[in-house]
Amino acid sequence: MKRIWRGAALGLALAALAATVLSTAASGGGKAAFAGYPRSQTLITSGTQWGNIAGTNPYTGNYATGMVGLVNETLLRFDPLKGKYIDWLAKSARWSGKKQYTIVVRPNVKWSNGKPFAGKDVAFNINLGRFTTAFWNNLYVNVKHLAVKGDKVVVTFKGTPNYIQWQNLMWNLPMINPTQASTIKSAQQLTTYSPKVPMGTGPYTVSAAGFDPTTRVVYVKNNKWWAAAAHVSPSPKPKYIIDLVNTSNTNSLNAVLAGVEDLNNNYLPGVNQLVDQHKVSTYYPTKPYMLSANTAWLEPNTTRAPLSDPVFRRALAMAMNVGQIVSQDYTHLVRPASPTGLLPTWNKYVDKAAVKKYGFKYNASAAAKLLKAHGYKLSGNYFENKNGSPINLDLSVPQGWSDWETARNMIVNSAAKAGIKITVKVKDYNTWASDRNTGNFDLVIDNNYQLSDNPWTYWNGIYHLPIIKGGTGQTFANFERYNNPTAWKLVQKLDHTSPANTKQIRSLNDKLQTILMQKLPMIPLWYNGVWAQFTSKYWTNWPSAKSSRRYVPAMWRGYLQMTGIDVITHLKQK
């Protein structure tokens, strides 16, 4: 009997192991050509992909990390630190008239199958906007005519173009191969398109054999990349790039410490200590360590009293001890936000006089005085509503986001010092997001809009109208439900202002930030970083503020077509 048990136990164990080996090995294509990707020629990154890799469709939000930038390139790129566009697949892409945009395709650009990239390919990609599931469909419906002549593409618009959004599209629209994408005939097919080996013009191609949706995507260097051949960019040194699927910040920290990853784009609490111990490097060698990626703000529900009162919101803003959050919660990995909330890369748009006049600083006693002066009365330690009812605001962050949870607790304490009672409400991410979208909250900490080429994306996020009542609520903007038609008209006007009209652009931006600081529909708190830590075990020459390599070190979606690709092309083998 004992032998039977022993045999059964061992047999089962071995069978299960054998099944795994067979299935995993088989998904790699059976016989391997070589034992492994040589580590010294491989760049390993992580920090973008959470959960399985959905596929290679660069038009959906869950494509394999690196698809846009490494495989499918854009017509332009944007350097946020210099505030300049970089001509990329386009030799030039400019407004050539009030209602006309002209793209001239760069010569000698080739697809990975060796065929030339031409004007008709650009037209094919822009024309995919006719499908309602294309993210640029709202811009495409305003296109009157699209003419292709050789390498020149001329787009004519029906009415006043959305200048800012169109320019933004030019560095965010990935070029997919028309022959390969000829199967896209409907809105549905645009969402399900996902070739195994996508054709692109970029410096890398996807390795189908290395691709494992649960674990990694593997890119192999395209030795005939046009940009290296034309000396537009250095040829990237890594022969392979492997981007690993993220499982948790703890696992990422372990992987960084064990030298598994070269570049990690997770938020790792206390990473400053690792920098100080020279175990990893960051863009800045000392505080703030990271570049700024987006603004974290306190989002008040402006439809609920007393948060509907701009004076109360101002007092609340003055009660925020952001300095404490920056130093104790984030150990200086982030920077405090300016009262405008505009990212440091948008400094040139900041109206300093307005900031001086309407800005706010942490001052709990001044906040209490302001409330008293405007008719709010203290009942015990806390203020009450003007009608005498108690004030007790709920504040939530997604459960488990430890840095935000600490910040939340600090906010509760600092608001209490000004006599504003805030109570923590614990919500998991989905409940938090659903409540935020439908307006079922008092206060949330949030950050929605990434670094971009124009503060318009930021204003659009704050002032967007109409506010959707019922159903799914607000799905992408104005979660604070701030109803200011004047501000919204200014945002629309800004989008419809020709880039040549710099005076009007300046004036509109000034007005929008003045409204923000006066009415505070959002309370800017701090700038979240472009979380990036790199190790030099295999690769050196990483970007840094102290070198000429001032590039944004992120593999995040939307960042490679900024200067993320320059990070890779400037790396040196150790």
Partner 1 sequence: MARYFLRKLVVYALTFVVAVTIDWAIPHLMPGNPVNTLMGRIQIQDPKVAHQVYEHYMRAFNLNLPLWKQYWYFWVSLFHGDLGTSILQFPTPVMSIITHAIPYTLALLVPAIALSWYAGNKFGALAARRKTLDNTLLPLGYTLTATPYMWLGILLVWVLAVIWHVFPVGYAYDPTAVRGFTWPFVSNLAYHWFLPFLSLFLVAFGGWAIGMRNMIIYELESDYAHYLGALGAPHRLIRKYAFRNAMLPQITGLALALGAILGGALVTEIVFSYPGLGYQIYRAITNEDYFVIQGIFLFIIIGVLLANFIVDIVYLIVDPRTRIGMEGGRS
Residue 254 Cα distances to 260, 434, 529, angstroms: 9, 33, 21
The answer to the question of residue 485 lying near partner 1 (CB under 8 A) is no
Q: Which of 223, 476, 500, 547 binds partner 1 (CB under 8 A)?
A: 476
Show Cβ contacts of residue 290 under 8 Å, excluding neighbours closer than 6 positions.
Answer: 282, 283, 284, 333, 334, 529, 530, 531, 532
- Residue closer to partner 1 by CB (options 170, 391) is 170
Show Cβ contacts of residue 295 under 8 Å, excluding neighbours closer than 6 positions.
Answer: 337, 341, 342, 343, 447, 449, 458, 524, 525, 526, 527, 528
Q: What is the CB-side half-sphere exposure of residue 240 using CA atoms within 13 A?
A: 20
- Residue closer to partner 1 by CB (options 12, 147) is 12
Q: Which of 123, 220, 228, 468 binds partner 1 (CB under 8 A)?
A: 468
- Residue closer to partner 1 by CB (options 358, 539) is 539
CA 291 – CA 317 distance, rounded (Å): 24
The tokens describing 350, both together, are: 């900041």
The answer to the question of residue 13 lying near partner 1 (CB under 8 A) is yes
The answer to the question of residue 184 lying near partner 1 (CB under 8 A) is no
Least separation in angstroms between CB 153 and partner 1: 22
| Selected range binding partner 1 among 225-233, 473-481, 528-536, 559-567, rule: CB under 8 A | 473-481
Compose the 50-89 pattern: x for residues touching partner 1 by CB under 8 A, - for all others. Answer: xxxxxx----xxx---------------------------
The answer to the question of residue 133 lying near partner 1 (CB under 8 A) is yes
CA 390 – CA 372 distance, rounded (Å): 15
For residue 283, the 8-state DSSP code is: S
- Residue closer to partner 1 by CB (options 24, 328) is 24
Q: Which of 108, 472, 486, 548 binds partner 1 (CB under 8 A)?
A: 472
Least separation in angstroms between CB 268 and partner 1: 14
Helix axis angle for 310-318 and 502-519, nearest 10°, is 80
- Residue closer to partner 1 by CB (options 180, 431) is 431
For residue 234, the 8-state DSSP code is: P
Provide the residue count of the chain.
574
Q: Which of 30, 114, 380, 470 binds partner 1 (CB under 8 A)?
A: 30
Q: Which of 96, 137, 406, 409 binds partner 1 (CB under 8 A)?
A: 137
- Residue closer to partner 1 by CB (options 44, 319) is 44
- Max intra-chain CA distance, the chain: 91
| Selected range binding partner 1 among 21-29, 86-94, 308-316, 329-337, rule: CB under 8 A | 21-29
Burial class (CB in 10 A: 0-12, 13-18, 19+), 500: exposed
Binding residues for partner 1, total number by CB under 8 A: 93
Least separation in angstroms between CB 375 and partner 1: 37
The answer to the question of residue 534 lying near partner 1 (CB under 8 A) is no
CA 217 – CA 242 distance, rounded (Å): 6
Q: Which of 56, 264, 266, 460 binds partner 1 (CB under 8 A)?
A: 460
* Residue 390, strand partner residues: 384
The answer to the question of residue 194 lying near partner 1 (CB under 8 A) is yes
The answer to the question of residue 135 lying near partner 1 (CB under 8 A) is yes
Residues 220-259 that bind partner 1 (CB under 8 A): 240, 242, 244-245, 247-248, 250-251, 254-255, 257-258
The answer to the question of residue 430 lying near partner 1 (CB under 8 A) is yes
The answer to the question of residue 273 lying near partner 1 (CB under 8 A) is no
Determine phi and psi for 105, rounding to 5 degrees.
-75, 140
The answer to the question of residue 493 lying near partner 1 (CB under 8 A) is no
The answer to the question of residue 192 lying near partner 1 (CB under 8 A) is yes
The answer to the question of residue 210 lying near partner 1 (CB under 8 A) is yes
Q: Are 268 and 534 in contact (CB under 8 A)?
A: no
| Selected range binding partner 1 among 107-115, 325-333, 428-436, 498-506, rule: CB under 8 A | 428-436
CA 61 – CA 71 distance, rounded (Å): 16
Residue 420 Cα distances to 192, 309, 385, 409, angstroms: 50, 14, 11, 14
Least separation in angstroms between CB 257 and partner 1: 6
| Selected range binding partner 1 among 265-273, 341-349, 430-438, 510-518, rule: CB under 8 A | 430-438
The tokens describing 429, both together, are: 């991410």
| Selected range binding partner 1 among 77-85, 190-198, 331-339, 385-393, rule: CB under 8 A | 190-198
The answer to the question of residue 326 lying near partner 1 (CB under 8 A) is no
Helix axis angle for 502-519 and 456-463, nearest 10°, is 40
Least separation in angstroms between CB 398 and partner 1: 10
For residue 379, the 8-state DSSP code is: E
The tokens describing 409, both together, are: 């607790």
The tokens describing 87, both together, are: 């001509």
Show Cβ contacts of residue 258 under 8 Å, excluding neighbours closer than 6 positions.
Answer: none
Least separation in angstroms between CB 460 and partner 1: 7
- Residue closer to partner 1 by CB (options 430, 548) is 430
Burial 246-276 (b: 16+ CB within 10 A, else e): beebeebbebbeeebbbbbbbbbbebbebbe
Residues 102-121 that bind partner 1 (CB under 8 A): none
Q: Which of 17, 373, 426, 500 binds partner 1 (CB under 8 A)?
A: 17
The answer to the question of residue 492 lying near partner 1 (CB under 8 A) is no
Determine phi and psi for 502, rounding to 5 degrees.
-65, -30
The answer to the question of residue 378 lying near partner 1 (CB under 8 A) is no
Q: Which of 84, 130, 132, 365 binds partner 1 (CB under 8 A)?
A: 132
The tokens describing 293, both together, are: 């990626």
Q: Which of 113, 138, 540, 573 binds partner 1 (CB under 8 A)?
A: 138
Terminal-residue alpha carbon distance, the chain: 60
* Residue 422, strand partner residues: 393
Residues 149-178 that bind partner 1 (CB under 8 A): 165
Q: Are 436 and 476 in contact (CB under 8 A)?
A: no
- Residue closer to partner 1 by CB (options 377, 469) is 469
